[in-house]
Structure 1
Amino acid sequence: MARRHLSTDEQALWSALARTVRPLRPQNRAPVAVPVVTIDPPAKKGVAPPPARLAPPPAPVRTPAAVLDTGWEKRIRNGAVSPEMSIDLHGHSLSAAHARLHQALGAALAQGVRVILVVTGKPPKGALSDSAARRGAIRAEIGHWLETSAHADRIASVRVAHPRHGGDGALYLILRRKK
């Protein structure tokens, strides 16, 4: 079946409808780009209008995996993962910790490091019941920092460290291999 092209009125209605749609779970979905359609002015009678041109779709965004293959999972569970690089963020302000994390991630990728140990620090004993205070300010923000990082597509997984490497006060960043 041949596809027909939308008229100018139909395209305007579709665009208005597409702007009102909101995802049910925006935190779990990759952003969806609405195709850009170029509409030329109406042609003379008897002349067929040229087909609409669509912009190419954006490249898919790679996100960290919740579960790695069984070999990695076993090594993490047993504490057999040996970080090739570590960065200690606890005791820093949020802005300083963010800058250090970004700098360390760039250096690790340049050196071909696969596992980084990020020490965020444990929250103080008897912290308030508020979840951000219970987790610590840096720990509460680090997920967002990694998602919005320029290197986000190079992170294969983020996992809580084994107790010998800091347990709840540290994370493993497992980086993807170079292509």
Structure 2
Amino acid sequence: MARRHLSSDEQALWNALARSVRPLRPGTRLPEQPSLPLPASGAPTRLKGQPPAPMRPDPPRTPAKVLDANWERRIRGGTLTPDMTIDLHGHSLSAAHVRLNQSLATALTRDARVMLIVTGKPPKSGGSGGDPRRGAIRGEIGHWLETSSYADRIASVRLAHPRHGGDGAIYVILRRKK
């Protein structure tokens, strides 16, 4: 199978990810640039007559870092109580980005641990006539969080429990002050 080189955007994302990883064994190095396998036709492969895989909404791109069992149980059970909530849906992308950064700064000064960020539901798959801009904030929120000046203070990003908005919201768990 042929291999392709990363685009400049993919390379920048890889470098950001590589900088955020701590090796299990000291002295272990990550490869400088991974090469991705490319299908022979350049298109996703599927068997003839097989329907295409359904499109699922992408979760925020910020990696879900490991939390202890207590946090996981509280998230799964919906017993997590957000210290701060912001609602971004209905805002323009630039206004939502500014509001997110202001809210992160406020949460950190208040020593908040859990932020609930309402982004709005992801776009509905299938059917035509829907708003093509639907889900724009949700599509960008992961990138905004990982490139934020507060990224090192974010412990984890998770989809919210249905009682807090489900697919239309995320929890941002902030690290304690050092």
Q: TM-score, normalised by structure 2?
A: 0.62
Tell me the distance in 2 between the aligned counterparts of 1:136 and 1:128: 16
Residue correspondence of structure 1 range 18-33 to structure 2 within 5 A: 25-26=14-15, 28-30=17-19
Residue correspondence of structure 1 range 1-179 to structure 2 within 5 A: 25-26=14-15, 28-30=17-19, 65-126=64-125, 136-179=135-178
Instruction: Note the C-alpha offset of 1:27.
Output: 5.9
Tell me the distance in 2 between the aligned counterparts of 1:103 and 1:163: 26
Instruction: Note the C-alpha offset of 1:149.
Output: 0.7
Q: Unaligned 5+ residue runs, structure 2?
A: 1-10, 21-30, 32-61
Which residue does 1:10 correspond to in 2? Answer: none
Tell me the distance in 1 between the aligned counterparts of 2:166 and 2:134: 13
Tell me the distance in 1 between the aligned counterparts of 2:126 and 2:83: 32
- Give secondary structure in 2 for the equivalent of 1:178: coil
Which residue does 1:37 correspond to in 2? Answer: none
Q: 1:153 to 1:83 in 2, by over 3 A?
A: same
Corresponding letter in the other structure for 2:19: A
- Give secondary structure in 2 for the equivalent of 1:29: helix
Report if the CA contact (8 A) 1:64-1:155 is conserved.
no
Tell me the distance in 1 between the aligned counterparts of 2:173 and 2:121: 21
- Give secondary structure in 1 for the equivalent of 2:19: coil
Q: 1:138 to 1:128 in 2, by over 3 A?
A: farther
Tell me the distance in 2 between the aligned counterparts of 1:111 and 1:98: 20
Structure 1 or 2: more helix by fraction: 1
Q: 1:137 to 1:128 in 2, by over 3 A?
A: farther
Backbone CA RMSD of aligned residues:
2.9
Instruction: Note the C-alpha offset of 1:134.
Output: 9.3
Per-residue CA deviations over 1:100-154 (Å, capped at 9, x if unaligned) read 000000000000000000000013545679xxx6971101101110111111100
Per-residue CA deviations over 1:26-49 (Å, capped at 9, x if unaligned) read 4641189xxxxxxxxxxxxxxxxx
Tell me the distance in 2 between the aligned counterparts of 1:123 and 1:100: 20
Which residue does 1:43 correspond to in 2? Answer: none
Instruction: Give identity over the alignment, percent.
Output: 67
Instruction: Note the C-alpha offset of 1:176.
Output: 0.3
Per-residue CA deviations over 1:49-91 (Å, capped at 9, x if unaligned) read xxxxxxxxxxxxxx86522111100110000100010000000
